[in-house]
Amino acid sequence: MADETTAERLVQIEFDEGTGPHPSPDVEQERRIAVYDLVENNSFAPRGGEGRGPYTLRLKIADNRLIFAIGTVAGAPVQETPLSMSPFRSLMKDYATVCDSYFEAIKTAPRTRIEALDMGRRGLHDDGSKLLMECLQSEVQIDFETARRLFTLVYVLHMRG
C-alpha cells in the first residue's frame, strides 16, 4: 500500500480513450491490475509539482503524442507533458505480437513455450519501462516499478488509439 503521508505520488488515473478497437479481455484485465497497483504503490514527482501532490493523471494520445496531463487532487493543473509516440512504435508492435502469442499459448501450449514467451514479454515490458523513464526524466521523476505500471497503461491506450 502507498505511504499516504508521501505527497509525491499518484492517487487517481483517468484515460481519454480513442474510438479504436478495444484490446482483448486479457489486456483490459492487465490494465485494471496496473491501475490498482499503481495507485496503491508509486513514486511520481512532476518537476512542476513543487510539492503540491498527491497528483492525478489523465493519459491520452493526440497527434501521435502521448499526453500526461497532471493535476492536483483539488483539480488544479500542474503540468501537461507530451511525449512523441515514435520511439515507442516498434517496441509496442513487438510487445503486442509477443503478448498475443503468450495469451494464446497459455490456453494449450507446453509449459516451456509459455515460460519462453513470458520471459520475452517481460523483457520487452522492461525495455518499454526504461524508455518511458528516459523520455519522462526531464519532466517527471518516477521509479522503475511506477514506470512498469505506466508502460502497461500506455500500451493499452496505444492499442485503443
Is residue 55 assigned to a domain? Answer: yes
**69/63 Cα distance (integer angstroms):** 15
**90/140 Cα distance (integer angstroms):** 24
Is residue 38 assigned to a domain? Answer: yes
Residue 4 has what pLDDT? 55
Going by their DSSP bridges, the two strands 55-62 and 10-16 should be labelled as parallel
Residue 124 has what pLDDT? 98
Residue 2 has what pLDDT? 45
Measured over the CA atoms of residue 30, residue 36, residue 40 and residue 44, the dihedral's sign is positive
Domain count within the chain: 1
Does residue 126 contact residue 111 with C-beta atoms inside 8 Å? no
Residue 51 has what pLDDT? 85
Is residue 2 assigned to a domain? Answer: no
Spell out the per-residue pLDDT of the chain, length 161, in tens: 444 557 899 999 998 866 456 767 877 787 889 899 999 999 999 998 888 899 999 999 889 899 999 999 999 999 999 999 999 999 999 999 999 999 999 999 999 999 999 999 999 999 999 999 999 999 999 999 999 999 999 998 887 65
**37/125 Cα distance (integer angstroms):** 16
Residue 52 has what pLDDT? 87
Host domain of residue 74: 10-160
Does residue 39 contact residue 12 with C-beta atoms inside 8 Å? yes
Residue 18 has what pLDDT? 60
Is residue 3 assigned to a domain? Answer: no
Is residue 4 assigned to a domain? Answer: no
Does residue 56 contact residue 13 with C-beta atoms inside 8 Å? yes
Is residue 56 assigned to a domain? Answer: yes
Is residue 119 assigned to a domain? Answer: yes
